């Protein structure tokens, strides 16, 4: 194959050669853990970086009443990272996946958008909402799809 001169090469377009960074939103729910597993398989096959993202919710009502909200969400994040490390250790040697764990604060949608932007995500993977109320208000997954900024995979 002959190499094209520099001026004739097409400009790089994110995602055209397959994903290099896959963001998976996790919150400890069964569907989010299935989404993380699915995203890990994608990352392994594509040799992409798997960025696992936990969005720590801001709970102003609890904070206003003096509840230790930040400590509780920090504990959830620590539990998640521990669970992820144990799972990665179990498959070590069989499957190698490059992964990172990130926490962001805010509501899940805006946190995932911020994460995907900051990490230059090529794809986003989330679990399907298990809340009946999201049928009326709209789930995080639906909002991410409507944003139309990345390919979004919703795992049941």
DSSP codes of every residue in 28-88: SSHHHHHHHHHHHHHHHHHTPEEEEEEEEPP-HHHHHTT--HHHHHHHHHHHHHHHHHHHH
Please determine, for residue 16, whether its predicted confidence score (pLDDT) is greater than 70: no
* pLDDT over 60 (residue 36): yes
- Higher pLDDT pick, 92 / 123: 123
Architecture of domain 24-154: 3-Layer(aba) Sandwich (3.40)
- Domain ranges for the chain: 24-154
pLDDT of residue 12: 44
Q: What backbone phi and psi angles, to 5 degrees, belong to 155?
A: -100, 125
Average pLDDT over residues 96-110: 87
Q: Over 90: is that where the pLDDT of 114 sits?
A: yes
What is residue 38's predicted lDDT score, i.e. its pLDDT? 93
């Amino acid at each position: 194959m002959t190499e094209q001169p520099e001026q004739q090469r097409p400009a790089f377009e994110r995602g055209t050669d397959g994903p290099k960074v896959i963001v998976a939103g996790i919150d400890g729910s069964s569907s989010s853990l299935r989404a993380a597993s699915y995203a890990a398989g994608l990352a392994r096959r594509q040799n992409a970086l798997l960025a696992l993202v936990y969005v720590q919710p801001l709970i102003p009502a609890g904070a206003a009443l003096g509840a230790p909200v930040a400590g509780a969400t920090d504990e959830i994040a620590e539990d998640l990272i521990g669970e992820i490390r144990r799972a990665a250790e179990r498959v070590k040697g069989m499957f190698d996946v490059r992964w990172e764990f990130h926490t962001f604060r805010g509501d899940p949608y805006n946190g995932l958008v911020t994460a995907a932007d900051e990490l230059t995500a090529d794809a986003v993977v989330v679990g399907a909402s298990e809340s009946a109320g999201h049928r009326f208000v709209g789930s995080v997954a639906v909002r991410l799809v409507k944003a139309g900024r990345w390919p979004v995979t919703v795992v049941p």
